[in-house]
Structure 1
């Protein structure tokens, strides 16, 4: 399966200049735990970093830093790991594990942001797939029973 088949294409974004208060409000409004930080590049959004709710807690609240004047660009993780739209899902999950990330921006061939893949989304996908196995078995048993009658 390809990453593009299972990633979420509705991505909440911010720019480096977005204040951390605005970032927290975006996370709350859209019920997300991370924002992809983008630089506009000729009308497309090119991911340059990520900021998570954990970043806000660890970098700002735990340090008792004043929220005013601090931007997403000040605290974002800039060693960004991305996945390609056509990358294999299992290979991407291996990369996420080795890099220690739970979310990864998905980019197209030109590097433009196209989606985000989160470990939680993959768990939902797997749970749905596993849930179909008992249905498959029951269906097969019903077909076999009908053939014998």
Structure 2
């Protein structure tokens, strides 16, 4: 299955120029812990970075920095990993595990933002797959009972 099928398409974004205070307010308003930092390029929102609520706490607040003067670009993850919407889920899992990241932007074939996928999204997908797999035994037993009764 492709990662684009399980990603969250309703993403919350900001620009690199957004202040940390504004970013925190957006996170509160939209009930999210992650903002995707985007740049508008040829009419597309192209991911440039990610900033999380943890980044704000650990980098800004714990260091007593001013969230009104620090910008998202000052703390966002420098090396952004993305996944193509057509990429296989298990390939994405492997790359996330290797890099140690819990969430990544998903992009279309042109590099435009298509969504975001998190470890939680992947857990939900895998749980559903395991549940469906567990039903194989039940179905097999039912079929055997029917065939024996003939």
Counterpart in 1 of 2:13?
13
CA 1:134/1:100 → structure 2, altered by over 3 Å: closer, same or farther?
closer
Q: What does the per-residue CA deviation read over 1:50-79, in whole Å, with 9 as the maximum and x for residues that have no partner?
A: 001110011111101121112212211121
Secondary structure of residue in 2 paired with 1:126: helix
Name the residue aligned to 1:47: 47
**Match of residue 119 from structure 1:** 119
The aligned counterpart of 2:108 is: 108
Q: Which residue does 2:3 correspond to in 1? A: 3
The match for 2:81 is: 81
Q: Secondary structure at the match of 2:17?
A: coil
Structure 2, unaligned runs of 5 or more: none
**Secondary structure of 2:81's aligned partner:** coil
- TM-score (norm. length: structure 1): 0.92
Alpha-carbon deviation of 1:3?
Answer: 1.4
Q: What's the counterpart of residue 95 of structure 1?
A: 95
The count of corresponding residues between Structure 1 and Structure 2 is: 149
Query: What is the distance in 2 between the residues matched to 1:136 and 1:28?
Result: 43
TM-score (norm 2): 0.91
Aligned to 1:141: 141
- Give the Cα separation in 1 of the matches to 2:7 and 2:140: 31
Structure 1 residue 42: deviation in Å?
2.3
Displacement after TM superposition at 1:81 (Å): 0.8
Match of 1:65, SS state, is coil
Q: Hey, what does 1:30 align to over in structure 2?
A: 30
Distance (whole Å) between structure 1 residues aligned to residue 5 and residue 40 of structure 2: 25
In 1, the alpha carbon distance for the partners of 2:82 and 2:134 equals 35
Question: What whole-Å deviation, never above 9, does each CA across 1:15-64 have from its counterpart, x for those lacking one?
Answer: 11212122112222322221110001122100000001110011111101
| Cα drift, residue 86 of structure 1 | 1.2
Q: What's the offset of the Cα at 1:143?
A: 2.2
Gaps in structure 1 of 5+ consecutive residues = none
Range with bigger deviation, 43-52 or 2-11: 2-11
Distance of 1:133 and 1:2 partners within structure 2: 19
